[in-house]
Amino acid sequence: MRNKDAFVYLWFDTKNRMFYLGSHKGTPDDSYTHSSSIMEKFTKTSIPSYMRRRILATGTHEEMIELENKLLDNRKEKCWDKYHNATVAFPPPPMYGEDNSNWKGGITKDMREYQREYELKYRKKNPEKQRKKQRKYREKNAEKVRERQREYYAKNAEKAREKKRERQREYYAKNAEKLREKKREYRAKKKAEKVNSVNLRRFMG
């Protein structure tokens, strides 16, 4: 009997009319939900009422990875703007052996780790596409994004302040001469204004 240790799933975000397609090594009844970096996070016990999931297929891990990429490639050609997915790895890379891009001296990395690395590379190569997708998501979910930011800052107020101070220190360190020049220009401008004011008063007086 064939080992069915993985499945391909499809989430539908009814509120935003968006989909997310993925695969997972495990069973549909386990605690896994999704690995999207764009779609909102939630657990199996706190699935929002507007989220719907369908199991499209079950099979071996290798079969489901291959099927996932075939389906994503199909969606990319037809309706990619309706999907939260950030990348498509098609054709799928060899699962094992020296032809796999993650082959390291006889060891092939976990596929999930490979997908994360591939997604990071894709983002670096396609920054404008990523920005466009993020802008579109923020426009549709403006209030949700603001609420998340408020929650984050409330939980990480000191961390956020320290990051801000660190950015300021880095900026001052990198632009010290430019800032000193601006300061000199400002003082010279103020001095000139003062001189002009005195001269005007003398002239008028």
Q: How far apart are CA 7 and CA 24, in angstroms?
A: 6
pTM: 0.45
Residue ranges with strand state E in the chain: 6-13, 18-25, 51-59, 103-104, 107-108
**CA dihedral of residues 60, 61, 63, 68 (deg, nearest 10):** 140
What is the structure's pLDDT at 10?
96
Cα angle vertex 124, ends 142, 25, to 5°? 80
**CA dihedral of residues 136, 138, 141, 146 (deg, nearest 10):** -170
What is the structure's pLDDT at 106?
46
User: Chunked in runs of 10, what are the mean pLDDT values of the chain (205 residues)?
Assistant: 84 93 93 90 94 95 91 88 72 46 46 67 80 84 86 83 88 89 87 75 65
Q: Of 87, 89, 84, 88, which is closest to residue 19 (Cα–Cα)?
A: 84
What is the structure's pLDDT at 47?
95
What is the structure's pLDDT at 90?
39
